[in-house]
Amino acid sequence: MKVVVSKNKQELGKKAAEHGADLIRKAIRKKGSANIIVATGASQFEMLSSLITQPEIAWNKVTGFHLDEYVGMPITHGASFRKYLWERFISKLPLPMAAFHYVNGEKEPEKECERLGKLIAKHPIDVAFIGIGENAHIAFNDPPADFQTSKAYLVVDLDEPCRKQQLGEGWFPSLSAVPKRAISMSPGQIMKSAAIICSVPDQRKAKAVQGSLEGKITPMVPSSILQRHKNCAIYLDRDSASLLSKKP
């Protein structure tokens, strides 16, 4: 695992995007196309704003998937991750992507998991852009995460710390307004990615970062599974890295 600490979240986002862009270009050169996973949330703002400006990426040869979406969430809602990705990433690219497979949790979430699972099985992921939650979740896999499932996407229950994070980031007016279920890419599917770029800024993530990088691998710290990945780069700022005993 590679750990990079930047002085602030802007520098973090730039470095993570540059690394990810290089991996996308290499995949396209090697096989003529690339498949990526894109995360959402406040932690990804700087990385995505930099990724869309990276030069010489043939986005028309890139197929994308995203990690998660609330069950029952219309795309018009301000907290919709589909809306987020369209506004902050897909609509701002210099070329249309070959395809982007959104997670639609509005109707029949179990069938949506099956649909996405069949699609992603045909598109081995070259680069996964992800984050880590305040409770150490990856995607919406809250503790205890299911490390054993062979499913690519799951319907999951969101715990209170996760829901409080969504409230604290300003996506909802009250805790009661935060959905209690979501569709999430599984930890196992994320780990199948050839490379993982994990962007984690902010002091509020410091405890999760410490547990993920320096603690034991356990479903109670879902992002600790990243320790097992052979090509994972964790991008931190000084705040999110502040509790690490060994400074990178």
φ/ψ region of 5 (left if φ > 0, alpha if ψ in -120 to 50, else beta) reads: beta
Residue 195's H or E segment, with its range, is strand 195-200
The number of helix segments (H) and strand segments (E) in the chain equals: 7, 10
- Residue 247 pLDDT exceeds 90: no
Q: What is the mean pLDDT of residues 139-144?
A: 96
Which residues neighbour 236 within 8 Å (Cβ) at sequence distance 6 or greater? 3, 4, 5, 6, 12, 200, 201, 209, 248
Q: What pLDDT digit, counting tens, does each position of 66-118 carry? A: 999 999 999 999 999 999 999 999 999 999 999 999 999 999 999 999 999 99
- Residue range 2-237 forms a domain whose CATH class is alpha beta
Q: What is the structure's pLDDT at 7?
A: 96
What CA–CA distance (Å, rounded) separates 192 from 226? 11
pTM of the model: 0.95
pLDDT in tens, 197-242: 999 999 999 999 999 999 999 999 999 999 999 999 999 999 999 9
For 150-164, write each residue's pLDDT tens digit.
999 999 999 999 999
Phi-psi map region of 2: left, alpha, beta (phi>0 left; psi -120 to 50 alpha): beta
- How confident is the model over 178-193, as pLDDT tens digits? 999 999 999 999 999 9
Distance CA 123, CA 132 (A): 24
pLDDT on residue 33:
98
| Residue 248: pLDDT over 70 | no
Q: How confident is the model at residue 246 (pLDDT cuts 50, 70, 90)?
A: confident
